[in-house]
Amino acid sequence: MIAGLLPQVGRDLGVSEATAGQLISGYALAVAVGAIALTALTAGLHRKAVLIGLVALFVAGNLLCAVAPDYPVMLLGRVVAALCHGTFFGIGSLVARRMVPPERASRAVAVMFAGLTVANVLGVPFGALIGERWGWRATFWAITGTGLLALTAITVLVPAAAGTIPPTRTGLRTDLRAFRSTQVWLTLTATALGYGGMFGAFSYLTYTFTEVTGFADTDIPWLLVVYGAGLVAGNMAGGRGADRNRDRTLIVSLTALTATLTAFGLLADSKPAAVTLVFLLGVFGFAPVPGMITRVTDQAHGVPLAAGANVSASNIGNALGAWLGGLAISAGLGYRAPLYVGAAIVLTAVAVMTYATRTTTTRETTHTDAPGEPSLPQARTK
């Protein structure tokens, strides 16, 4: 949401484009820290209760943003909201895959992450529209209210059984042993680079559209809808593809993302091309997500900390991409530069993922439960 409001927030708080971009990179770094720390601290707690507590933290952070009198307080609110993010998606993905048969694990994760992609179709452009009409603070008030609705929905609708800790659950010290696996680290690295390339470009996409392509500020909401539609399509296609052939889906989607970012940089001054390519940016940018999560949790033998680490890695990549994109703009390279920077980052992800696939030492299957995370018995009868 913040990407669509970045110019407005920067002007109101009196900071530069690069400094305003730190509201994205700072959020991402806080996600990276929170994903590891909160996952470790809550590992022995009932997962539904943890999800409820995390959403409450999210509401508090966005409320702080809504009333922030200056940039430091605004950044603090972003950090508070971010602390819950990684753990929420990490634990949520484990809850989701417990509720379906094992051969649908990646698709279950994709459905859970569909909340994030639909938010980019509806929440981001509506957030930009609200901000344009009533000011950016109104958007944060709306998010606070939406967070309260989500809190109620999780409390009422998430099955308690899906949040129970498996009887084979081990301690934190045992969980940490999973990170001795080279494949875990290669997958986390590819996740960070893939996310970093896409979101590094996305962070400054509003500037690209208005300063290079020639769109008006009022065009940004519907352009973000196009991008969000691509996220939804890519997320669901990526989940299905990963359940068939996970590693091939990851390499193909990352390669296509590299090509999309490069083409976007070359053709950013064309409105028809920009609209097409922003849709493809969403498709190929999010297609790897379900497969990356199930890959790292399978390689880590299903420990919850691995799911949190995957979200942490993605947000380290987000921070890196936004920072490098901001540096490129500050260096006078123009508003196309973040697209080229993103392409270079994702190309590195392709190399890492290709190496990971060729050096896998244990037979991977995408049709078995992650150890210690059995599916619920009732899910198998559906």
Residues of the chain falling short of pLDDT 50: 362-372, 378-382
Looking up tokens 């099955």, which residue turns up? Answer: 159
Instruction: Work out the burial of residue 220: count CB atoms within 10 Å of its CB; fewer than 13 is exposed, 13-18 middle, 19 or more buried.
Output: buried
Contact 66, 120 (CB under 8 A): no
Q: Compute the half-sphere exposure of residue 284: CA atoms within 13 Å on the CB side of its CA.
A: 24
Tokens of 365: 């299957």
Rounded-to-integer distance, Cα 341 and Cα 320, Å: 11
- What is the per-residue pLDDT across 320-357, written as a single tens digit (0 to 9) for each? 888 888 888 888 888 899 999 999 999 999 999 999 98
What sections of the chain are H helices per DSSP? Answer: 2-13, 17-41, 47-67, 71-83, 85-98, 105-118, 124-134, 136-157, 172-177, 182-202, 205-207, 220-267, 271-286, 289-299, 304-330, 337-358
In this prediction, residue 341 carries a pLDDT of 93
Fold classification of 2-360 (topology level) = Growth Hormone; Chain: A; (1.20.1250)
Rounded-to-integer distance, Cα 319 and Cα 324, Å: 9
- Residue 341: φ, ψ to 5°: -60, -45
User: What is the pTM (predicted TM-score) of this model?
Assistant: 0.71
- Residue 324: φ, ψ to 5°: -65, -40
In this prediction, residue 334 carries a pLDDT of 86
- The 10 Å CB-count burial string (b at 16+, else e) for 255-290 is bbbbebbbbbbebbeeeeebbbbbbbbbbbbbbbbb
Looking up tokens 């927030």, which residue turns up? Answer: 9
Those residues with Cβ within 8 angstroms of residue 59's Cβ, 6 or more apart along the chain or in another chain: 144, 147, 148, 151
DSSP track, 246-286: HHHHHHHHHHHHHHHHHHHHHHTT-HHHHHHHHHHHHHHHH
Looking up tokens 């949520």, which residue turns up? Answer: 92
Helix (H, G, I), strand (E, B) or coil at 148: helix
Contact 121, 225 (CB under 8 A): yes
Contact 128, 221 (CB under 8 A): yes
Contact 206, 6 (CB under 8 A): yes
